[in-house]
Amino acid sequence: QVRLVQSGAEVKKPGASVKVSCKLSGNTLSETSMHWVRQAPGKGLEWMGGSDPEDAKTIYAQKFQGRVTMTEDTSTDTAYMELSGLRSEDTAVYYCVADDGYCSGGSCFYYLDVWGKGTTVTVSS
Amino acid sequence: DIQMTQSPATLSASVGDRVTITCRATQSISRYLNWYQQKPGKVPKLLIHTASSLQSGVPSRFSGGGSGTDFTLTISSLELEDCATYYCQQSYTTPWTFGQGTKVEIK
């Protein structure tokens, strides 16, 4: 059974960076495509980026380009998301998510299957 | 980017009611559409993938339909535990995008 365990809550000042970790168990990172989704207080879900399941390249949402870096340590099956230049609008719960999918009739379908419990990042002066 | 629009934003219904949520994409996404349920204070949970495939363990009162640009999530007989916010999400192309959510309340 795949499980994702995320690092603990963070409080950062504006302009700082935060790095959130996500340890995978029940599978290996080399077999899994990981994504990061965030949710600001009282708001909806926002996909930040992740590993494209088709070619394993890391893709970032344009909104976060230049500020976010997603990396993986396959020796420890741990994924990381680092967000720099923090501002108050970055206050949110950050989820790592493992996708799953299947191929049928020449098409491959993917979905966000297993979610971590989330890491609360608070940006405040 | 593909925009996903859900309606209604909020829905209030009684236990036992049939409830339908709509999700519309700004371009055709075939059947690359997934639905998630998020209960208050909880982690989102996958309900339906590929427009109409029920995720293992999800009650059969949930069903999904549609293809192209228009999709639906239906709860055939609303139960108290279905009080939650529901999100659609497209995986047709990156960036993957979510609808803004539909909050289902019990009258």
Strand partners, A36: A49, A96
Q: What is the pLDDT of residue B79?
A: 98
Nearest-5° Cα angle at B43, A98 to B39: 140
| Both structure tokens of A75 | 């020796």
Residues of A in contact with B32 (CB under 8 A): 109
Mean predicted confidence (pLDDT) in A32-52? 96
Interface check for A62 against chain B (CB to CB < 8 A): the answer is yes
Which residue among A45, A52, A62 sits closest to B44, beta carbon to beta carbon? A45
Residues of B in contact with A96 (CB under 8 A): none
Residue A105 has pLDDT above 90, yes or no: no
Q: Looking at CA atoms only, how far is residue B21 from chain A in angstroms?
A: 16
Is the CB of residue A16 less than 8 Å from the CB of residue A82?
no
Interface check for A87 against chain B (CB to CB < 8 A): the answer is no
Q: Looking at CA atoms only, how far is residue A117 from chain B in angstroms?
A: 6
CB neighbours of residue A43 within 10 Å:
11
pLDDT, tens digit (0-9, with 9 covering 90-100), for B13-36: 999 999 999 999 999 999 999 999
* Cα gap A79→A103, rounded to integer Å: 25
AA letter at A69: T
Instruction: Determine which of A27-31, B40-44, B86-90 has the lowest per-residue pLDDT on average.
Output: A27-31
Interface check for A1 against chain B (CB to CB < 8 A): the answer is no
CB neighbours of residue B1 within 10 Å:
13
Is the CB of residue A29 less than 8 Å from the CB of residue A21?
no
* Rg of chain A (C-alpha set): 15
pLDDT, tens digit (0-9, with 9 covering 90-100), for B43-68: 999 999 999 999 999 999 999 999 99
